[in-house]
Structure formats: C-alpha cells, structure tokens
C-alpha cells in the first residue's frame, strides 16, 4: 500500500507536473500527501539583504504550498504542508524517514542531485517528466 | 496585496479564548465575523471549515493553527485571531497543542487574495519574535501593532 506520499515542491515552473501526478495518484489510491518545500539557506548570500530574501522566499513557498492544498482540497485529498530550511536533500530525506512515507516524487528538473538522492533514499523514488502531460489517467 | 492588519479588526481579536476544543474554538473565533456581517451564512461557512478540518488538520505546528475556508458564505476576506493559554488540540503534525489561532475567511471568488493571506499569516507566525510578542500582547491594539511591525 502507498498510504503516504511525499512530493518535493520547488518553484512552479519546476515541479508543477510532479505535484499534479502525485495528487492524481493520491486520489486514486486514497493516499495522504506530504508536500515538502525546503528553503536552501546555504545558497543565500550573506549580508543585509539576506533576511529580506529569506522572508520573500518563505512567503512565496507558502503561496505555492497553499495552492497545492487548495487543489487537493477540491479533490478530497489529504495533504500536509511542510516548510523547512537548510540543506534540501538532507531535510527531504529526514522528513521522509520521520513520516514513514512509502514513495518520494520529484520533478525530472529538480535542483537536487538525483543520483545521490536515489542512492540514499530508503523508499522508491519517482521522477516525473515536466515536459510531458502527466494529469491524464493513463499514468 | 492587502495587509494582514487591514483584514483583522479589533473586535475579531480574542485574547482569552474560552473554548477548549477545536471546533468550539473555531465557533468562538467566527462569532465576531458573523456579527459584523462578513460571514453571511454561518451554517454554510461552518460546513466549509469542517470539511477541511475533517480532511486534514490546519494545525501547522509550533503552537499555531490556521483554520480557513473559501466559500460563498463569506462577503469579504477577513481574519479573526484568538489566543488560548491552555492550548487546543488541532492534531498538528508535531503533536503540540495550538496557542495562537488565526481563522481566515474568504469569498469563493477571491482565491488569489485567500492564498496570499494564508501565505503571509503562515510566514509571520513562524517567526519566534512574532509568536513571543503575540503571546505577550495585552490588548487587541497590541496584537495589531505586532503584526504591523513585522509584516
């Protein structure tokens, strides 16, 4: 059974199809979705603008997450929103372990290192091709 | 975007929530919005709120809950804020009770404003200094000042 799915959320232009595919799968299986966004604080520049940049990034991340929640709600899909900061790959793997998820979904355009992720993940990992329509029922 | 402080009136700030249980707390918070005519159909508004709460908790952890609904039963986007010193079980992912609770009500056709408001409130409430200041606020005006300062 795939009771718990994690979708790694990045900017809309990156992970749109991965999110759609995950919601579509969750609807069919009755799974719970954890939508995870990790703000990469290591790549943020030091200096006076850092706090503002972090604040703007966080607000934008919440916007993307709540749009996912709204879409899930319309389809009666359970979704939990998780916003974290730090090293995205480390935080993502930690969260997957903490919540005992059974499938991890990412975009094929992810900013994470796919080989390292697959090597270290304890659960199956699905990469969704962002160039292909994934919202049809044949997926 | 409309500022959070413009969506929250002093009458909708309850610094000593009496209710102890999640649904009763949401009812208590919604009362001012019903009274001032922002929620035009209490029954329909609650149906929307409960549908979401039954699907997934709106407790976002760290002692915060943001119950919310976008429905025809709301005339314009508005907030209510409540503080529960005793803590309320919102079934948050971190298992901790919620002490700071924001209720967000929005009209069905105001999706962008609704999402933006949710994002803004979530961001504000995760700041330790905002949480500490809201916890210490003694009057509704203090709450508005805190939000205005950090927004």
A23-65, pLDDT tens digit by residue?
A: 999 999 999 999 999 999 888 888 878 888 898 999 999 999 9
| pLDDT exceeds cutoff 60 at A128 | yes
Which of chain B's residues have a Cβ under 8 Å away from the Cβ of A55?
123
List the alpha helices (DSSP H) in A75-136: 88-98, 114-120
Q: According to the model, what pLDDT value does residue A132 have?
A: 58
Catalytic positions of B, written as ranges: 68
pLDDT bin (cut points 50, 70, 90) of residue A139 is very low
Q: How far apart are CA B54 and CA A15, in angstroms?
A: 27
Given a contact cutoff of 8 angstroms between Cβ atoms, the answer to whether A1 and A102 are in contact is yes
Q: How far apart are CA B63 and CA B13, in angstroms?
A: 17
Q: How far apart are CA A89 and CA A17, in angstroms?
A: 20
| Contact flag B115-A81 (C-beta cutoff 8 Å) | no
User: Phi and psi of B128, rounded to 5°?
Assistant: -60, -40
Q: According to the model, what pLDDT value does residue A133 have?
A: 56
pLDDT tens profile B76-103: 999 999 999 999 999 998 899 999 999 9
Q: According to the model, what pLDDT value does residue A50 have?
A: 86
What is chain B's mean pLDDT, rounded? 95
Q: Say whether residue B116 is in contact with chain A using an 8 A CB cutoff.
A: yes
Residues 6+ apart with CB under 8 A from A133: A17
Q: Say whether residue A55 is in contact with chain B using an 8 A CB cutoff.
A: yes
Write out the two tokens for A68.
Answer: 């996912």
| pLDDT exceeds cutoff 80 at A135 | no
Which of chain B's residues have a Cβ under 8 Å away from the Cβ of A59?
119-120, 123
Report the residue count for chain B: 151
Per the listing, tokens 């939990």 go with: A80
Residue B143, classed as helix, strand or coil, is helix
pLDDT tens profile A75-118: 999 999 999 999 999 999 999 999 999 999 999 999 999 999 99
Query: What pTM value is reported for the model?
Result: 0.92
Number of domains in chain B: 1
Task: Give the domains, in start order, of chain A with CATH numbers.
Answer: 4-128 (3.40.50.620)
**Is this complex scored with an ipTM above 0.85?**
yes
The pLDDT of B127-132, averaged and rounded, is 94
Nearest CB among B56, B116, B126 relative to A63 is that of: B116
Q: Say whether residue A60 is in contact with chain B using an 8 A CB cutoff.
A: yes
| Contact flag B56-A60 (C-beta cutoff 8 Å) | no
Nearest CB among B51, B70, B119 relative to A62 is that of: B119
Nearest CB among B56, B119, B126 relative to A63 is that of: B119
Q: According to the model, what pLDDT value does residue A137 have?
A: 46
Q: What is the CATH number of the domain that holds B121?
A: 3.40.930.10
pLDDT tens profile B1-55: 789 999 999 999 999 999 999 999 999 999 999 999 999 999 999 999 999 999 9
| pLDDT exceeds cutoff 50 at B75 | yes
Q: How far apart are CA B6 and CA A71, in angstroms?
A: 27
Structural domain range at position B91: 4-150
| Contact flag A60-B115 (C-beta cutoff 8 Å) | no
Given a contact cutoff of 8 angstroms between Cβ atoms, the answer to whether B67 and B49 are in contact is yes
* Burial of A122 from C-beta contacts in 10 A (0-12 / 13-18 / 19+): exposed
Element at A26 (helix H, strand E): helix A12-29
Q: How far apart are CA B81 and CA B15, in angstroms?
A: 8
């Amino acid at each position: 059974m795939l009771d718990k799915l994690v979708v790694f959320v990045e900017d809309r232009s990156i992970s749109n199809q991965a999110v759609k595919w995950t919601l579509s799968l969750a609807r069919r299986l009755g799974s719970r979705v954890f939508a995870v966004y990790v703000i990469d604080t290591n790549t943020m520049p030091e200096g006076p603008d850092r706090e503002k940049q972090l604040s703007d990034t966080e607000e934008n991340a919440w916007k993307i997450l709540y749009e996912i929640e709204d879409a899930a709600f319309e389809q009666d899909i359970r979704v939990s929103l998780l916003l974290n900061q730090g090293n995205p790959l480390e935080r993502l793997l930690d969260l997957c372990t903490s919540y005992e998820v059974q499938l991890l979904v990412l975009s094929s355009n992810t900013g994470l290192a796919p080989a390292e992720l697959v090597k270290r993940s304890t659960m199956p990992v699905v990469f969704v091709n962002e160039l292909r329509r994934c919202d049809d029922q044949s997926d | 975007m409309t500022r959070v402080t413009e969506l929250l009136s002093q009458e909708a700030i309850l610094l000593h929530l009496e209710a102890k249980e999640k649904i009763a707390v949401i009812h208590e918070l919604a009362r001012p919005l019903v009274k001032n005519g922002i929620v035009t159909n209490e029954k329909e508004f609650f149906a929307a709120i409960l549908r979401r709460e039954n699907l997934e908790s709106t407790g976002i952890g760290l002692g915060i809950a943001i119950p919310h609904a976008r429905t025809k039963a709301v005339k314009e986007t508005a907030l209510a804020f409540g503080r529960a010193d005793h803590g309320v079980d919102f079934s948050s992912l971190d298992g901790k009770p919620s002490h700071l609770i924001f209720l967000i009500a929005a009209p069905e056709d105001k999706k962008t404003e609704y999402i933006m408001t949710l994002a803004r409130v979530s961001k504000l409430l995760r700041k330790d200094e905002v949480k500490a200041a809201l916890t210490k606020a003694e009057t509704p005006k203090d709450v508005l000042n805190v939000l205005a300062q950090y927004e």
